[in-house]
Amino acid sequence: MSFYIKAWEDSVNKVKETSKRIGASFPHACKNGFYDNSYPSWWTNGFWPGILWLMYKVEKEESFAEIAKEVENKLDEVIQNYYGIDHDAGFLWILSSVAQYKILKSEKSKQRALHVANLLAGRFNPKGSFIRAWNGEGKEGWAIVDCLMNLPLLYWASEETRDPRYRHIAQAHADMALKYFVREDGSVCHIVSFDPENGEFIEVKGGQGYSPSSSWSRGTAWALYGFALSYKYTKDERYLNAAKKVAHYFVSALPADYVPYWDFRINPEGEPRDTSAAAIAASGLIEISRLVSDGEKQMYLDSAQKILKSLYENYSNFGKSDESLLREGTSNKPEKTNINVGLIYGDYFFVEALYKLLGNSELFW
């Protein structure tokens, strides 16, 4: 039996148990064995329903669908009050509303997702060709690498409505990211600051990386996967080339067990790993393997499987009471937040990568 078949079975069995307690809440970080419950607008709140919908598609476990629907309903509070919605709108509603629409053809879910796509598009600054990242004074000109993973909400909305404006905004942001985020060696930065009035570049900020010139491993994973998704929707070869370039950097920088430390440009002694970066990259590498020529496929697929096998054998909580599937995730090292814990997005991308290896092609992105 291939390791990923067993890993999928173990994941499903664990979620069957943990979902009884977690229910329709907003798990983010698993500390002291249990997932917390974050506030409704927190950026990770789509990953739990995303896990449930992926498993529902394969296992047809009705309880998974019911919990995912409840979580989506709770997210209406965020839409109605318009607090906290930012560039991460895709993470919340692609994996909840778009997922339910694709699986169950829910018209209400479709309307939710299109409404949020409008809100995301409304964050686009035409002067600098970027989607504004966070809210708050002083951040009006900030763009971040994570946003590449939220662009599929706009691509999907463009296809669903046959309105190219959503796609134009997504591509403009992706083009900006090609220019300002990807370095010559394939590493990426986290935050780029522009003048929000005239769009002129100001500076690179360290963000969740060690420094402005360092290489935050999760940001690298967001980039390799995000550019691959932009290529998937647009067939613009520049995006695929960028995804491959970043992927080569990521894989070449991995330690012997294929699970990165939180930043590639630090002395690793005593530093924490980030299993979430590994899981994101693994799913992104599988995505790239589906987009490249036949002669290139196996290289990306082999790298993804090595990462996933190490996560399963060395960093998982199977057979343990901890609710997260993976341990040793690092959320925000510079701010000393959620270090060496299970993270719901690490779990999601681990499940998504296994889902792909099982031969499933339909995704929510």
Whether 364 is covered by a domain: the verdict is: no
Residue 150 belongs to a domain with what CATH number? 1.50.10.10
CA distances from 330 to 116, 216, 326, 336, 346 (A): 28, 11, 11, 9, 10
- What is the identity of the amino acid at 361? S
Whether 353 is covered by a domain: the verdict is: yes
Alpha carbon distance 212, 244 (integer Å) = 23
Q: What is the pLDDT of residues 90-112, one digit of tens each?
A: 999 999 999 999 999 999 999 99
> SS3 of 4, please?
helix
Give the structural domain span for 82. Answer: 3-357
pTM of the model: 0.98
Q: Which residues are known catalytic residues?
A: 88, 146
The distance in angstroms from the start CA to the end CA of the chain is: 29
Whether 363 is covered by a domain: the verdict is: no
Q: What is the pLDDT of residues 154-190, one digit of tens each?
A: 999 999 999 999 999 999 999 999 999 999 999 999 9
pLDDT score recorded for residue 82: 67
- For every residue of 162-228, DSSP letters joined together read T-HHHHHHHHHHHHHHHHHTB-TTS-B-SEEEE-TTT--EEEEE-TTSSSTTS-BHHHHHHHHHHHH
Q: Above pLDDT 90, what percent of the chain?
A: 98
For residue 150, give the nearest of 44, 40, 75, 291 by alpha carbon. Answer: 44
DSSP state of 325: S
Q: Give the chain's residues under pLDDT 50.
A: none
Alpha carbon distance 69, 278 (integer Å) = 28
**Average of per-residue pLDDT values in the chain:** 97
pLDDT score recorded for residue 84: 74
Whether 269 is covered by a domain: the verdict is: yes
Whether 241 is covered by a domain: the verdict is: yes
Tokens of 209: 């990386």
Q: What is the pLDDT of residues 191-216, one digit of tens each?
A: 999 999 999 999 999 999 999 999 99
Number of domains in the chain: 1
> SS3 of 252, please?
helix
Whether 234 is covered by a domain: the verdict is: yes
Whether 365 is covered by a domain: the verdict is: no
Whether 50 is covered by a domain: the verdict is: yes
Identify the sign of the CA torsion 286, 291, 293, 294.
positive
